[in-house]
Amino acid sequence: MSGAPNDLARELLTQRLVAWRVAGGVTRTDDGALVISGNSKDISIDRAPPHLMFRWMVTVDGRKRGAISLVSVLRQVREALDPGYAANRVRIAVAPLVPSQ
């Protein structure tokens, strides 16, 4: 990650920490990754390799997960930093529009 998009992502993450009332900070490493430190966690966010369908890779406690968007990155970061956060999951399934009687 480099340039303006990286700076915007860093600012977005910094503002999210404030909104979530999490003490911490967001820094950029020499290789362009973003590192979030807060609530005794270190979270690393890197651009995904081009051959993957993900845009970002989020590493929390050594576990690396893909994220297709910044919204997905924010969700993963929030879940890692706030153990009381109730994540809302959406499940999509094939079903009739109106239940049959």
Tell me the β-bridge partners of 44: 35, 59
Strands (E), 29-62: 34-38, 41-47, 56-60
Per-residue pLDDT tens digits for 13-36:
999 999 988 888 999 998 889 999
Percent of the chain with pLDDT over 90: 42
Task: Give mean pLDDT, residues 36-52.
Answer: 89
C-alpha dihedral, 39 to 60 to 75 to 25, nearest 10°: 40
pLDDT value of residue 58 = 96
Look at the block and give the residue holding tokens 């979530």: 20
Other C-beta atoms closer than 10 Å to the C-beta of 62 total 6
Q: Looking at this protein, which amino acid is placed at residue 84?
A: G
pLDDT value of residue 8 = 87
Residue 100 has pLDDT above 70, yes or no: no
Indicate the pTM of the whole model. 0.75
Tell me the β-bridge partners of 36: 26, 43
pLDDT value of residue 25 = 92
